[in-house]
Amino acid sequence: MSSPKAKEKKLWGGRFAAGTAASVEAFTASIEIDARLYRHDIMGSIAHAKMLAKQRIIPAREAQKIVRGLKIIQTEIERGIFPFSPTDEDIHMNIERRLTEKIGAAGGMLHTARSRNDQVALDMRLFLREEVRLIIEAVKSLQRELAGTAKRHIDVIMPGYTHLQRAQPVLLAHHLLAYFDMFDRDRQRLVDCLGRINVLPLGSGALAGTTFPIDRAHVAKLLGFPRVSKNSIDAVSDRDFLLEFVAASSILFVHLSRLAEEWVLWSSQEFSFIELPDGYCTGSSMMPQKKNPDVPELIRAKTGRVFGHLQALLTIMKGLPLAYNRDLQEDKTPLFDTVDTVKASLQMMREIVQGVKVKRERMLAAAQDGFMNATDLADYLVQRGVPFRSAHEIAGRVVQYCIGRGQRIAELALNELKRFSSKIEKDVYRYLSVEAVVGRRRALGGTARSNVLRRLKELRV
């Protein structure tokens, strides 16, 4: 057992005869992690102090001192000269102690009608609100890059896949815009989540509210919150907004990881569909010929990290009795790391999309192989009255015949084709080129160039 230190003056020390054990101090302190909330903590405290003065809960002169003191503290932190102390547990108490050191007794008035429980809930909301807005912008930038790349390569045809087997030719632009749509949903989820982050919890006190005649609407206005929480118990114990954000980030990472994985494959010699920019790849210490796609690989891997954070947060919250519990302090590491990982990965993905070199000849050659016009041969027969099931069977036999002879469907002579069905005429060849196969998928949402061009025009980011 680590022996209690001589009793130090804690901001909450009144009730205690002995000091905190050194081991406990180390175990419970969060200052290393939550120092990052300093700006939001100060912003919240300034609004709170102004409201307290307006309501005549504290004298205006002391409130002014508090505001001035807090601003000085902010510059101290930003200049790296703030004396952080682990004895003060977290950022909230570090700042409050420093405030009293600087402005004397007036500093002790700041915490009137407030608890660290509603304070930390506020700081987390202020922090996340700012970050989510930045992340929404980062998603938009990635979307713009995808749309730009799609536009520049509007005539590039590649194989579309199912089961990772060549299935039907598609426009590369159509494939890229699939990701555009995924990221669009991610953006909508984040915007939606922002609405629930943007609620003021301050004024809930420790859990039951406060006896002071505070004006919560005023604080909300000062801090730009469109809404104020309605239940003090919920307000101090709710972390749904973090869960939602990390869940939305996890889905975003599902998408990032799929794109990353495809580009790892596409940049391999087996596919050789793209070349990643040199500056975004690394070599091997042993094999001189290697050019490794480390950035998409790491984005793929960081997905696991973010999923892990979601699991951690869900588990922290599960079964927690109301209202505040110290468990909630453990929300910070997973949240902060999710924010950092999402921002860094979106940025890297955007840069890679920007720098990618498309090997259009390789894509086209791959699209011409693999009998991807077999569906179109079947559709052709259907147009001439053959039931689809029989048409499918006929086209299948044509493919089998071609495989045996090492030929493409379009390379067969008309009389050869006619042996499979008398309905086949000379015009069949017009249906078999990859360009025709792509261009005929004009139904809404299909890969036809006209569709993709229209979609590119209507995109708004």
User: Mind telling me the catalytic residues?
Assistant: 163, 284
Closer by beta carbon to ligand ARG, 253 or else 324: 324
Closest CA to 129 of 40, 211, 49: 40
Closer by beta carbon to ligand ARG, 30 or else 204: 30
362 phi/psi in degrees, rounded to 5: -65, -45
Dihedral (C-alpha) 51, 56, 61, 65: value to the nearest 10 degrees? Answer: -30
The distance of closest approach from Cβ of residue 364 to ligand ARG in the complex, given in angstroms and rounded to an integer, is 57
Report 325-354 residues binding ligand ARG (CB under 6 A).
Answer: 326, 328-329
| Helices then strands, each counted (H, E), the chain | 19, 6
Which window, 63-71, 112-120, 207-215, 347-355, contacts ligand ARG (CB under 6 A)? Answer: 112-120
Q: Rounded to an integer, what is the distance from CA 80 to the centroid of its chain? A: 30
**In angstroms, rounded to a whole number, what is the distance separating the alpha carbons of residues 450 and 115?**
60
Binds ligand ARG (CB under 6 A): choice among 20, 30, 87, 210: 30
Report 38-97 residues binding ligand ARG (CB under 6 A).
Answer: 90
Q: To which H or E segment does residue 275 belong? A: strand 274-275
CB-CB contact of 215 with 245 (8 Å): no
Which window, 116-124, 264-272, 333-341, 420-428, contacts ligand ARG (CB under 6 A)? Answer: 116-124
Closer by beta carbon to ligand ARG, 108 or else 446: 108
The number of CA neighbours under 13 Å toward the Cβ of 356 is 31
> Residue 371: left (phi > 0), alpha (psi -120 to 50), or beta?
left
Closer by beta carbon to ligand ARG, 89 or else 131: 89
275 phi/psi in degrees, rounded to 5: -125, 125
Give 272: exposed, middle or buried? Use CB within 10 Å, 0-12, 13-18, 19+.
Answer: middle
**In angstroms, rounded to a whole number, what is the distance separating the alpha carbons of residues 127 and 37?**
7
The distance of closest approach from Cβ of residue 328 to ligand ARG in the complex, given in angstroms and rounded to an integer, is 5
Closer by beta carbon to ligand ARG, 118 or else 376: 118
Between the alpha carbon of residue 366 and those of residues 156, 161, 437, the distances in Å are 12, 11, 14
Question: What are the tokens at 367?
Answer: 């699209």
117 sits near ligand ARG (criterion: CB under 6 A): yes
Q: List, as one string, the DSSP characters of 349-400.
A: HHHHHHH-EE-HHHHHHHHHSS-TTHHHHHHHHHHTT--HHHHHHHHHHHHH
Closest CA to 187 of 254, 240, 249, 239: 249
Question: How many residues sit in the footprint of ligand ARG (CB under 6 A)?
Answer: 10
The distance of closest approach from Cβ of residue 96 to ligand ARG in the complex, given in angstroms and rounded to an integer, is 12
The distance of closest approach from Cβ of residue 218 to ligand ARG in the complex, given in angstroms and rounded to an integer, is 24
The distance of closest approach from Cβ of residue 212 to ligand ARG in the complex, given in angstroms and rounded to an integer, is 19
Binds ligand ARG (CB under 6 A): choice among 50, 111, 116, 125: 116
Which window, 136-144, 255-263, 321-329, 342-350, contacts ligand ARG (CB under 6 A)? Answer: 321-329
Site string for ligand ARG, 120-139 (x = CB under 6 A): x-------------------
The distance of closest approach from Cβ of residue 273 to ligand ARG in the complex, given in angstroms and rounded to an integer, is 48
Closer by beta carbon to ligand ARG, 204 or else 345: 204
Which window, 115-123, 126-134, 342-350, 431-439, contacts ligand ARG (CB under 6 A)? Answer: 115-123
The distance of closest approach from Cβ of residue 182 to ligand ARG in the complex, given in angstroms and rounded to an integer, is 34
* Binding footprint of ligand ARG on the chain (CB under 6 A): 30, 34, 90, 116-117, 120, 324, 326, 328-329
